[in-house]
Amino acid sequence: LTDKLQNVFKNLRSKGRLTEEDVKAALKEVKMALLEADVNFKVVKQFVKAVEERAVGVDVMNGLNPGQMVIKIVNEEMVTLMGSETTEIQMQPGKSITVIMMCGLQGAGKTTTTAKIAGKLKLKGKKPLLVACDIYRPAAIKQLQINGEKQEVDVFSMGEHHNPVDIAKASMEHAGKNGHNVVILDTAGRLHIDEDMMMELQNIKANVEVHQTLLVVDAMTGQDAVNVAKEFDEKVGIDGVVLSKMDGDTRGGAALSVKAVTGKPILYVGMGEKLSDLEQFYPDRMASRILGMGDVLTLIDKVQANLDIDEGKEKEMAARMKKGKFDFNDYLESMKQMKKMGGLSSIMGMMPGMGKQLGDMESMVDEKQLSRMEAIVLSMTLAERENPKLLNLSRKSRIARGAGVDIAVVNRFVKQFEQSQKMMKQLPGMMGGKKGRGMFG
Ligand code: GDP
Ligand code: MG
């Protein structure tokens, strides 16, 4: 998905406003990419429509190119799609014990997630009790006990000869007596959606006051995970979803569709087999991950935060650059602006696909060297700054003394400057800026 989207955005070049053509063409590709990522078809359709409605005619934000502007909108819509706010497990108000029921297919990660969540709650000062309601596999009880021991939380079990409803009821009593304030029921799954399983869960709910039903789905199953979520929600009713095995899912399709299809939020994502590998779900981070555009989104934030950069100067400089007249004065000015934005190398590093192309440029703009370069330029006369060709050996050695550096450093800098002059002429186009407006202008 990542590569796909990157290509899409690379091809987006246009003027100050996003035209319908721009957006339509890009979204056609986005649509394909999302479908390939196993995002629900209906969700894709809705999504593409929402982006299109918002994007066409939108002014491209100052400092962004049209491609980045579409990314920004796609990103925002993705966040909306996944539920803008992060949801956490809520303790039931007015109750001394909050009861959470875990459900999901066999192997989805219920037992593991139960223990992971217990660890999180324990850190918050809760006293959880884990309850072994999976009576069909003796190993399941043992597994919960081992996990509970690792997390140093109590596990309640009655072996495999009682039914899950009785176990759940008995556990409530046990929890009350032992001062537990959260009870997590680890139920049995089946390989597929199955009436018995649904009945069993319904029965537990009918007999025990369950405050939150959390569904664990395997992110690697993509679209199936979403269908499973829909079924469980219809039959048992769920309050939230945990997406397990996100560490193995490179596509992110399930994450994108669950909320849209079920209306239920994703609370956590499982990021590995270890009991500490459970992360709160952040829709905005997931959107960035799905977009996979390096840190373009961070870049966009930075640009947004720096809109106050003097526009007049920018335009003037851009005009000069276009004419190939970028001199050391402009260099000083652009360094100043870059510093405001966190340095060129950090900006370039955030551009998709630019990381590797830094090459020589990187050493030139190494943050630590920036001030040294500045000192060199400041040691030049105005004439020298305007006309680098004047820089002969004696001038260079005077500048070196003035800046307190070796003459070799000055030499290298001037040479790199000439190289970057060439590069800068190409940059505005490379970065897809509005007519000559690149990172520098
Ligand atoms: P259950 O049948 O739903 O209780 O599933 P389990 O908790 O027994 O988990 C099934 C398998 O998935 C086990 O091997 C777990 O270690 C593994 N698993 C669970 N969650 C994750 C996760 O977030 N990432 C990875 N890589 N493996 C997981
Ligand atoms: Mg289990």
pLDDT above 70 covers what percent of the chain?
72
Residue 303: half-sphere exposure toward Cβ, Cα within 13 Å: 24
Q: Residue 365: is its pLDDT beyond 90? A: no
For residues 415 and 353, give the distance between their C-alpha atoms in angstroms, rounded to a whole number.
26
Among 43-57, 62-76, 97-111, 180-194, which is the least confidently predicted range? 62-76
- Please report where in the chains the tokens 């829709």 appear, as a residue: 283
- Please report where in the chains the tokens 């002429």 appear, as a residue: 425
Measured in Å, residue 260 CA sits from the centre of ligand 1 at: 25
Cβ neighbours, 10 Å, residue 278: 24
CATH number at 2-84: 1.20.120.140
| Most confident region among 8-22, 25-39, 229-243 by mean pLDDT | 229-243
Q: Is 188 annotated as a binding residue?
A: yes
pLDDT value at position 298?
A: 56
Q: Is 202 annotated as a binding residue?
A: no
Structural domain spans, the chain: 2-84, 98-281, 308-430
For the residues 359-384, what does the mean pLDDT come to? 70
- Please report where in the chains the tokens 């000559």 appear, as a residue: 436
Handedness of CA 361, 1, 25, 82 (dihedral sign): negative
pLDDT value at position 228?
A: 94
Shortest-distance ligand to the CA of residue 217: 1
**Is any ligand 1 atom within 6 A of the Cβ of residue 146?**
no
Q: Is 190 annotated as a binding residue?
A: yes
The best mutation among 146, 155, 244, 249 to test binding of ligand 1, ranked by most ligand atoms within 8 Å of the C-beta, falls on: 244
Question: Looking at the predicted complex, does its ipTM rise above 0.95?
Answer: yes
Give the pair of three-digit tokens for residue 70.
Answer: 């579409």
Q: 98-281, what's its fold?
A: Rossmann fold (3.40.50)
Which of the four pLDDT bands, split at 50, 70 and 90, describes residue 360? very low
- How do residues 50-100 score in pLDDT, each as one tens digit? 898 988 888 877 666 676 778 788 888 888 888 867 677 888 888 999 999
Which of the four pLDDT bands, split at 50, 70 and 90, describes residue 338? low
Please say whether the beta carbons of 143 and 186 come within 8 A: no
Give the pair of three-digit tokens for residue 188.
Answer: 């049995």
Which of the four pLDDT bands, split at 50, 70 and 90, describes residue 433? very low
pLDDT value at position 356?
A: 40
**Is any ligand 1 atom within 6 A of the Cβ of residue 272?**
yes
Q: Which residue has the higher pLDDT, 248 or 303?
A: 248
Measured from the Cα of 112, ligand 1's closest atom is 7
Q: Which residue has the higher pLDDT, 351 or 207?
A: 207
For residues 352 and 367, give the distance between their C-alpha atoms in angstroms, rounded to a whole number.
20
Q: Residue 306: is its pLDDT beyond 60? A: no
pLDDT value at position 355?
A: 43
- How do residues 223-247 score in pLDDT, each as one tens digit? 889 999 999 999 999 999 999 998 8
Measured from the Cα of 107, ligand 1's closest atom is 2
For the residues 1-20, what does the mean pLDDT come to? 58
pLDDT value at position 111?
A: 97
- How do residues 129-174 score in pLDDT, each as one tens digit? 999 999 998 799 999 999 999 999 999 999 989 999 999 999 999 9
pLDDT above 90 covers what percent of the chain?
35
| Most confident region among 20-24, 52-56, 273-277, 355-359 by mean pLDDT | 273-277
Q: What is the 3-state secondary structure (H, E, C) of the chain?
A: CHHHHHHHHHCCCCCCECCHHHHHHHHHHHHHHHHHCCCCHHHHHHHHHHHHHHHCCCECCCCCCHHHHHHHHHHHHHHHHCCCCCCCCCCCCCCCCEEEEEECCCCCCHHHHHHHHHHHHHHCCCCEEEEECCCCCHHHHHHHHHHHHHHCCEEECECECCCHHHHHHHHHHHHHHCCCCEEEEECCCCCCCCHHHHHHHHHHHHHCCCCEEEEEEEHHHCHHHHHHHHHHHHHCCCCEEEEECHHHCCCCHHHHHHHHHHCCCEEEEECCCCCCCEEECCHHHHHHHHHCCCCHHHHHHHHHHCCCCCHHHHHHHHHHHHCCCCCHHHHHHHHHHHHHCCCHHHHHHHCCCCHHHHHHHHHHHCHHHHHHHHHHHHCCCHHHHHCHHHCCHHHHHHHHHHHCCCHHHHHHHHHHHHHHHHHHHHHHHHCCCCCCCCCCC
C-alpha triplet 425, 427, 431: angle, nearest 5°: 155
Residue nearest to atom 19 of ligand 1 (CA): 109
- Classify strands 98-103 and 154-156 as parallel, antiparallel or unpaired: unpaired
Residue nearest to atom 13 of ligand 1 (CA): 109
φ, ψ at 125 (rounded to 5°): 90, 10
pLDDT value at position 353?
A: 45
pLDDT value at position 440?
A: 37
Q: Residue 46: is its pLDDT beyond 90? A: no
- How do residues 307-337 score in pLDDT, each as one tens digit? 444 455 666 666 666 666 677 877 777 666 6
Kindly report whether the global pTM for this prediction surpasses the value 0.90. no
- For the beta sheet containing 182-186, the strands, ordered from the edge strand earlier in sequence to the opposite edge, are 154-156, 128-132, 182-186, 98-103, 212-218, 240-244, 266-270, 278-280
For residues 366 and 371, give the distance between their C-alpha atoms in angstroms, rounded to a whole number.
10
- How do residues 389-416 score in pLDDT, each as one tens digit? 889 999 999 899 888 889 998 998 888 8
Residue 285: half-sphere exposure toward Cβ, Cα within 13 Å: 8
Shortest-distance ligand to the CA of residue 141: 2
Query: pLDDT averaged over the chain?
Result: 80
- Please report where in the chains the tokens 């759940």 appear, as a residue: 168
Q: Is 25 annotated as a binding residue?
A: no
pLDDT value at position 83?
A: 82
The best mutation among 112, 120, 281 to test binding of ligand 1, ranked by most ligand atoms within 8 Å of the C-beta, falls on: 112
Please give the CATH architecture assigned to the domain spanning 308-430. Answer: Orthogonal Bundle (1.10)
pLDDT value at position 12?
A: 46
Q: Which residue has the higher pLDDT, 207 or 388?
A: 207
pLDDT value at position 3?
A: 58
**Is any ligand 1 atom within 6 A of the Cβ of residue 219?**
no
Give the pair of three-digit tokens for residue 57.
Answer: 């005619």
pLDDT value at position 108?
A: 95
For residues 436 and 127, give the distance between their C-alpha atoms in angstroms, rounded to a whole number.
61
For residues 138 and 145, give the distance between their C-alpha atoms in angstroms, rounded to a whole number.
11
Measured in Å, residue 107 CA sits from the centre of ligand 1 at: 6
Q: Is 385 annotated as a binding residue?
A: no
